[in-house]
Structure 1
């Protein structure tokens, strides 16, 4: 491996301040190239993208960061510090810092996608974001409206769909229970997680971050700050940013039916349906890199 290639794969670590949190940011590749910003979900850190980053950094300026309360971006405090609005502000702060002169291309997984839906629906979103590739993460306001629609039309098919999604989302009820997740996750989470990953994805789980147990517990605040509000008072909005939606048929958390109304979520939709599981950045990094590269080039990213 030559020195230039090796440098592209070694992060340049910086810190971006956003409100109450100092976000750990990691940059790879040529900083003058088109920027791709990768955002992780729960209970991950930026490391969930480790196999994807070198594939993209050959041609792009690639940026990852630990979201608030996770990894090297710790944030003690109440659930009110983890609202979708604040998480969206974080994404803008990072985009401004790493690419002040042109919009970045967003790529996100799981809660990374969920949190970015809030910001790409803002009227000013296109000032900072050129495209959004969402993997296994819905707009939770739109998802709540979809669930309400099924409940209002209780046909056998709709009730079956509701039951499947309720089963897939059963872990959310646990997270919303006061004090129980904080008591149990540190004890059983590190032992159960590798087994769950192996059972659902068919491969061994990646080495967890040193902060894994803390991240599991901290992430509970994401659910408590946002889920009930979205279910009880959904605020339907459409993204002003072009969207590539990646839907995985074997996803244990997000059933494909949840994305049936995805065309209503954005002004510009490209949908990709795959026969894959939830952790696509880990199980199929080359596929993720290929999808992102193709989409970024189609949206005007011409530095590759």
Structure 2
């Protein structure tokens, strides 16, 4: 700990870790101090040289003699003085909130940008880049960001903001941290100097938010381009910065990585483990290491229009998707659909050659990236090995589609215990294993995700022909509802997809007990003519819109509506379905027709 002189102020500097290792310089925001970084610094200091300081007028640092001393020029001068004190050719900058704003400005300034190896930004855009977004973004997106930035106008008013900070604002801030971010105040954050820091920092808004928005350090075309590698960490629950504004920042950074953490404004307090991991992975990569799978997929191409959503066909660019039962039918169609929309896909199936064929089709037909895996979803130990292997080789998946399933058809009294066991093991336990293992990975990673469970029309429409299958699919739907409620707070969505009759091979490969309905079933499904590709489209839409229950095709939607509006009618129709048993060929009691 030491003082650094910068003009007429003294800056309080804190250093941890081995100075011989790469240096990470953490710059705090408003109205914080260097103590907001305590948790992150504690996680990084064993591997890096970690430096923090209180910006002018905050914490232990002194304030300038005049309010005019809070311009970006003065803040850049402070950063330059800190870099001089560190004494290294280059450091890795990490900025949050106003710390992020001043870092974006600093890395465009000659004399500083040459001394910055990388920039990690969260909680605040570059003002010059934000200026271009406000000029060129769509009306709706610009209006949305203006609504989030309401406080900037309030801070311009005389006297009132100062009075608020000296009276009730510290208590309001602490309550906001608890309610909105889910974090508890602790010693050092908010700081004991909060009221004074809040008053002093108002001048950063008053002096920089007008002219400061206009680019001053630009390239030859007048664009606010940043030459250093930039990692943007988007806190998905930050109420102050819109996703559209953050996405537009990649336009100005040729080397740009965009990552997300499920957290509020103070992500370094809410999920310090995730923030520290992302910083470390990025610094390691800039220093020469291979990128982690998550960092590799986070790389974005500069030059996309500001504030625009991904172009059609690439909506899942940078996502890792796991699909079970991907060797055929709905699973194969879903794997291909995600790959066509830019995702990397792990295609898993109990039939490894079938999974390989799906991968070969994705690579040859779509030019996509996919990997084949063999797994029996009903086997807990093998599923655990599979989940570990996916994480080790490809990273934590963003989307998991639990699709693998089996079908036993016939009357309840013709089902054996083994028939029931098979239905529960594959259709229910397979989904349970997939949800349990991959949801745990997603929660730990802290970046959100989505789980899709393939249920069925049979989940809410009883049938004499499918007692075990219907029971297993009803359980899948309820499991999905329960899990959705549990993990919603972690930014993880869960969807239950409930198709009606789909033209796949499930009828041909089913087990029939009591009577052999194979020929009738295969013909009926073929005549229905509903391709699995249309189910896949519903799955992608469900993920994009975070839909809870998605009935698919006419009979699926009608059955779902009837189950909610008139359950008695669905039970009556179930009794009528008994007539279908007379269409099949009788078989000896208790035996099954195997595929």
TM-score bracket, normalised by the shorter chain, equals 0.7 to 0.9
CA RMSD of aligned residues (A): 1.6
Write out aligned runs for 1:104-123 (5 A). Answer: 104-123=91-110
2:160 corresponds to: 180
Q: Distance in 1 between matches of 2:38 and 2:88?
A: 26
Q: Does 1:169 align with 2:149?
A: yes
Match of 2:237 among 250, 259, 272: 250
Q: Distance in 1 between matches of 2:253 and 2:142?
A: 24
1:48 corresponds to: 36
Match of 2:225 among 234, 238, 250: 238
Q: Does 1:216 align with 2:203?
A: no
The question of whether the paired residues in 2 share the 8 Å contact of 1:243 and 1:266 is answered with yes
2:17 corresponds to: 29
1:294 corresponds to: 281
Runs of 4+ in 1 over 4 A off after TM superposition: none
Deviations 1:236-291 (A, max 9, x none): 42112211111122111111111232123223111112332111111111111101
Q: Distance in 2 between matches of 1:301 and 1:211?
A: 40
Q: Distance in 1 between matches of 2:229 and 2:74?
A: 22
Q: Structure 2 unaligned runs (5+)?
A: 217-222, 290-595
Match of 1:228 among 210, 218, 224: 210
Q: Distance in 1 between matches of 2:141 and 2:88?
A: 45
Shift of the alpha carbon at 1:46? 0.1
User: Any idea what SS the aligned residue of 1:62 has?
Assistant: strand
User: Any idea what SS the aligned residue of 1:261 has?
Assistant: helix
Shift of the alpha carbon at 1:133? 0.5
The question of whether the paired residues in 2 share the 8 Å contact of 1:79 and 1:222 is answered with no
* Distance of aligned partners of 1:101 and 1:160 in 2 relative to their CA distance in 1, 3 Å threshold: closer
Deviations 1:99-123 (A, max 9, x none): x232111111000000111110123
Q: Does 1:193 align with 2:173?
A: yes
Q: Distance in 1 between matches of 2:89 and 2:215?
A: 32
2:265 corresponds to: 278
TM-score by length of 2: 0.46
Q: Does 1:127 align with 2:114?
A: yes
User: Any idea what SS the aligned residue of 1:221 has?
Assistant: helix
Q: Distance in 1 between matches of 2:21 and 2:134?
A: 41
TM-score by length of 1: 0.88
The question of whether the paired residues in 1 share the 8 Å contact of 2:101 and 2:127 is answered with yes
The question of whether the paired residues in 2 share the 8 Å contact of 1:125 and 1:241 is answered with no
Q: Distance in 1 between matches of 2:150 and 2:261?
A: 24
Q: Distance in 2 between matches of 1:288 and 1:26?
A: 20
Compare 107-116 and 160-169 and name the one that shifted more: 160-169
1:7 corresponds to: none
User: Any idea what SS the aligned residue of 2:39 has?
Assistant: coil
1:72 corresponds to: 60
Higher relative contact order (CA 8 A, sep 6+): 1
The question of whether the paired residues in 2 share the 8 Å contact of 1:35 and 1:62 is answered with yes
Match of 1:58 among 41, 46, 56: 46
Q: Distance in 1 between matches of 2:9 and 2:254?
A: 32
User: Any idea what SS the aligned residue of 2:143 has?
Assistant: helix
The question of whether the paired residues in 1 share the 8 Å contact of 2:6 and 2:77 is answered with yes
The count of residues paired between Structure 1 and Structure 2 equals 281
Shift of the alpha carbon at 1:301? 6.4
* Distance of aligned partners of 1:148 and 1:126 in 2 relative to their CA distance in 1, 3 Å threshold: closer
1:159 corresponds to: 139
Q: Distance in 2 between matches of 1:79 and 1:117?
A: 22
Shift of the alpha carbon at 1:234? 3.9
User: Any idea what SS the aligned residue of 2:209 has?
Assistant: helix
User: Any idea what SS the aligned residue of 1:43 has?
Assistant: coil
Q: Structure 1 unaligned runs (5+)?
A: 1-12, 151-157
Shift of the alpha carbon at 1:27? 0.5
Write out aligned runs for 1:145-156 (5 A). Answer: 145-150=132-137
The question of whether the paired residues in 1 share the 8 Å contact of 2:261 and 2:274 is answered with no
Deviations 1:133-152 (A, max 9, x none): 111110111112211223xx
Q: Distance in 2 between matches of 1:149 and 1:34?
A: 38
Compare 205-214 and 220-229 and name the one that shifted more: 205-214
The structure whose Rg is larger is 2
Deviations 1:166-207 (A, max 9, x none): 221111111111221112221111221111112210222334
Shift of the alpha carbon at 1:76? 4.2
